[in-house]
Structure 1
Amino acid sequence: MTDAGVENWYVGGHSLGGAMACRYAAENPEAIEGVVLYASYCDRDISGTGLAAMSVTGSADTVLDSDSYEENRENLPSDATIRELPLNHTQFGSYRGQRGDKPSDRSYATAHDRLANVTVAWFRSQRGT
């Protein structure tokens, strides 16, 4: 066991928070097991660190720069889990509306359920359960 009884630490974030999580991971790969990105991308190379990585984007996201996302995809490990859900940018968080983001016809509860389903499944796969 490690700090606070937690055996495996992961960092992650939404949008700019995800980029900051990748920066932390690039500088401290020995301190964590992996990275979780929501509507974000790694602007630092973590591909050779051995870290687990999951990236979830939204098909209705009009805020995430898709060109930058694709250009930085190689910064993730080659076995990173990549998922796309029918979400807009703000539905990854707990706030409403952001400049440049189009409204969605899906509720936030539905969006968060879908996001939770892929996230929980990914974490379980990391434990082998």
Structure 2
Amino acid sequence: MTFYYWTQQTYEPSSKLKLVDVDEVTYFEDWLVFDSKGEGQTKGGIIIYPGAKVEPEAYSYYGQELSKHGYFVAIPNVRLNLPILEIDKADEIIDKYPSVGNWFIGGHSLGGVAAANYAKNHSDVITGIFFLGSFPSENSDFSNTSIPILSLFADKDGLTTLDKIDESANLLSENTVMKEISGGNHSQFGVYCEQKGDGEATISVVEQQNIVIESILDWVNNE
């Protein structure tokens, strides 16, 4: 019972910073979905697993902005707010939208760990993996693969520290792009309140989120 109450003490999307027009958010069952608004055919699908105990709306800005560039974006609610408990959640959205084509999956913090697990077990479906202040676990070793990977990390991140990024680098593929966000921290990979143990960012949440968006677009457009 104590564990259940702990999982319900979530990080809600910040009400102090309105980055997303709520009218732009559509729900499919327990998913937030952002249809492609680019001209022509949808370029691909991007699935973002939330961090542990972080509500999916905290990543809505990514969905809003990436969809403007021709990508379908989906962000799930997960059981007990822990993505590691629903690693295969992506099956639901991929099955629902079979015409999307290329699928990229990633996530923030523990969401990235879960996304990597999914990608490891579904290499026939996933085109590439991205990490936002995150890294793969030992059972998701991509070192002998060529799958495209994007690793974005921040130098003020007090939770996914630079040491942890370095220690896990041997699990990444030979086709990995790594980028450090100077002045960023852990919680600003989403839009929610300060997280215990995190470092203090020296750039704004908008600046950090825009760096992430630009980096993801550069990466997916080249895959």
What TM-score bracket applies, with the shorter chain setting the length?
A: 0.7 to 0.9
RMSD (Å), alpha carbons:
1.8
Residue 214 of structure 2 is aligned with which of 101, 117, 122? Answer: 117
Residue 55 of structure 1 is aligned with which of 141, 145, 151? Answer: 151
Residue 20 of structure 1 is aligned with which of 114, 118, 122? Answer: 114
How many angstroms does 1:75 deviate by? 1.1
Name whichever of 41-50 and 86-95 sits farther off: 41-50
Map of 1:89 onto structure 2 = 186
Structure 1 runs, 4 residues or longer, greater than 3 Å off:
1-4, 65-68
- Show CA shifts across 1:79-102 (max 9, x none): 200000121001111212111112
Q: Are the equivalent residues in 2 in contact too, given 1:9–1:31 (CA < 8 A)?
A: yes
CA distance in 1, matches of 2:211, 2:121: 31
Q: Are the equivalent residues in 1 in contact too, given 2:158–2:198 (CA < 8 A)?
A: yes
Map of 1:11 onto structure 2 = 105
**1:76 maps to 2:175:** no
Q: Give the structure, 1 or 2, with the largest relative contact order (CA under 8 Å, sep 6 or more).
A: 1
Amino acid at match of 2:134: S
Matched residues, number: 126
Map of 2:3 onto structure 1 = none
Q: Percent identity?
A: 29
CA distance in 1, matches of 2:155, 2:162: 10
CA distance in 2, matches of 1:90, 1:58: 10
Q: Equivalent residue of 1:13, what SS?
A: strand
Q: Equivalent residue of 2:111, what SS?
A: helix
Unaligned runs of 5+ in 2: 1-43, 45-93
* TM-score, normalised with respect to structure 1: 0.88
How many angstroms does 1:69 deviate by? 2.5
How many angstroms does 1:49 deviate by? 3.5
Amino acid at match of 2:180: E
Larger radius of gyration: 2
